[in-house]
Chains A and B, each alone.
Chain A
Amino acid sequence: MSAVIPQDGAPLLQLHQVSRSFGSTPDVAARVVRRVKRSFGAETASKTVIAVDNVTLGVRKGEVVGLVGESGCGKSTLGRMAAGILPPTHGQVSYEGTDIDSMPADARKRAKLKVQMIFQDPYSSLNPRMRVEDIVGQAPRVHGLVSRRELAGYVDAQLARAGLDPTLKQRYPHQFSGGQRQRIGIARALAVQPHFLVCDEAVAALDVSIQAQILNLFMDLREQLDLTYLFISHDLGVVEHLSDRVAVMYLGRIVEEAPTEELFNRPNHPYTQGLLAQVPRLERRRSTYMVVKGEIASPLNPPSGCHLHPRCPHAMPRCSVEVPLLREIAPMHRSACHLNDMVRAGTPALQS
């Protein structure tokens, strides 16, 4: 089967109405407790967290899409589904226009290999007992991308491309600094020749000067290898710098999505506006910080209707009842807020 070649502008990777929930599988003790409780007539609803709730997001070839949100908003879960590490509870993930689950086994394996992930913590994402040459060389060898004879040279090339000295490949991860370890993680991902990288807080643990080096590396690799990125971060400065398009998540849902300039210059959703107002910037001196009330609600018990309504300064009765849909409000700009209906109905537009 030959892969479907995407038409111009068609997504390379598409998450279609994906949801992911996590429930606890009760162990023996928990089942006994539940049975006893029930015999006394107590309610025993099992707790389910809906980490990602019906999200549709496409990433076109060559594009960098930034995904931002507070801790617990589901951005990492979404990233893991995109990378194929975590299967969605509902919905489909398609690669080059084909649903990954409907592919024959060998095509699915090839498609999944094309999507690789780079993790936040370079300390826990590398096996401490493996030498760097094995960390980087194992996957391409297993998947038959290189012969045994070519492997050493291949690993050297991967390390050099990630900015590491290949003569250090006999070492173990603990012998490297944080920035170097992140480069090892990048070399490992690149070694299987991916087209799509999911970077989950890939520079969050690094010092400022090292962070700049790694961000530059991502940008260079994008050009050299024609890579496509889903770049997940809570750091809006980093996302603004790197991304072509940005999606903002709140409690499992995308609340706004737009090209980077549009989103940062004309944020529409009250949550995006609040988030942008909090971003510290070099040119903001002795600023008076505004207090946004409350913090992200528990995903175990999310607020009804629009998840943001308890924190939103513009909340109205409708917001606690009806979930706002993500709708286009300008070309390429989608937002999920009931206020946009009022704008259409003639009330003054919401200004940031």
Chain B
Amino acid sequence: MSAPTLEVRNLRTYFMTDAGVVRAVDDVSLSVERGKVLGLVGESGSGKSVTGFSIMGLVDPPGRVVGGNIFYRGQDLATLTEEEMRALRGNRIAMIFQDPMMTLNPVLRIDTQMIETVLAHSSVSRENARDRARETLGLVGIPSPDERLSSYPHQFSGGMRQRVAIAIALLHNPDLIIADEPTTALDVTIQGQILAEVQKLARERSTALIWITHDLTVIAGLADDIAVMYAGRIVETGPVDLVLDQPAHPYTHGLISSVPSANRRRARLQQIPGMTPNLLRLPAGCVFRSRCERADDACLQGPALVEIAPGRAHRCFHPLQQLPV
């Protein structure tokens, strides 16, 4: 069996700030196979975006990857030189950001930016690069791509801009795409269009996808597997149906119950009390302890990630689901 497209083992990314060490990503392990979609779910400050940046090698000081390994098709990325990493980034591994203007340069035309990206990783002529750019814009559903190539980013609507950003990520047919909340700022109709394109990609081109979001409903429709993050740690992971229908971790359960459509109309929503902890002052033991109704003295010790079935694990002493007999 070949290695998964991406495997992350015990990743730790810390930020050494003046106020102290922020453990933004603490002991995160995950893997994605070819053609599969992994949904990485968490609220603000859970470390889901930093996980994505760590994989891309884009963590800036004061942040640093302080531990763990990231394997791309069996190869440890930490052993690569910056030169080799550059050859991979944007080529085999691409990232889509929440704000497309993080990808696009406002003062350059779309064709300039796309051709530059093509030429950065392959030695083709400018004409071929332009053809490739046009073809990819068409792929993400941009009408009349030939004309649009000579437009500037400000001439596109938000949804169209995000498509251009996605097209740039696709230029080199990457093996892995990390998408960080790419549809959060968009209307449902535009979100639906983009999800449709992304699904097609995973299916037709066997691209592996990590979809980072806080929106469980999007994950439900898109992902094969799901990993739930809380305060820098993965608290539960597994196949999407199992995790959503039989959540083991109280936090996962709380998140699912907070979704309005999971509740009876006009009934009070089940809510998780309190708020996400300050990463500078994390309590000892289970990080979810202070908000959890199942917590007791056992939770003063930090629970380890326990595998309860192949590919299914949680980090809780009092899970809602027990080991299958």
Contact = CB atoms under 8 A, between A and B. Distances in A.
Interface of A: 70-71, 177-180, 207-213, 215-216, 219-220, 234, 236-238, 240-242, 244, 260-261, 274-275, 277-292, 295-296
A179 B224 CA distance: 31
B188 A278 contact: yes
A208 B213 CA distance: 11
Contacts, number: 138
Interface stretch (B18-26, B77-85, B118-126, B260-268): B260-268
A288 B158 CA distance: 23
A201 to B, nearest CB: 12
Contacts of B265: 240-241, 260-261
B268 A216 contact: yes
Given A278-B191, A292-B193, A241 B260 contact: yes
Contact of B221 (A237, A244, A285, A292): A285
Contacts of B43: 207-210
Given A234-B188, A278-B188, A280-B215, A290 B268 contact: no
A292 B192 contact: yes
Nearest to A280: B217
Interface string B180-194: 000000011111110
A71 B186 CA distance: 8
A234 B255 CA distance: 20
B216 interface: yes
A236 B244 CA distance: 21
A212 B272 contact: yes
Nearest to B259: A282
A275 B261 CA distance: 16
B189 A292 contact: yes
15 contacts: A178-B44, A209-B271, A211-B258, A216-B271, A236-B188, A240-B260, A279-B188, A280-B221, A285-B220, A285-B240, A288-B196, A288-B199, A289-B221, A292-B192, A296-B187
A244 B222 CA distance: 31
B244 A282 contact: yes
A234 B261 contact: no
B275 interface: yes
B278 to A, nearest CB: 10
B260 A295 contact: no
Q: Count chain B CB atoms within 10 A of each CB in A215, A234, A274, A289 and give the residue with the most.
A: A289
Given A177-B275, A286-B224, A290-B196, A208 B189 contact: no
Q: Count chain B CB atoms within 10 A of each CB in A70, A244, A277 and give the residue with the most.
A: A70
Contacts of B141: 291
Contacts of B257: 212
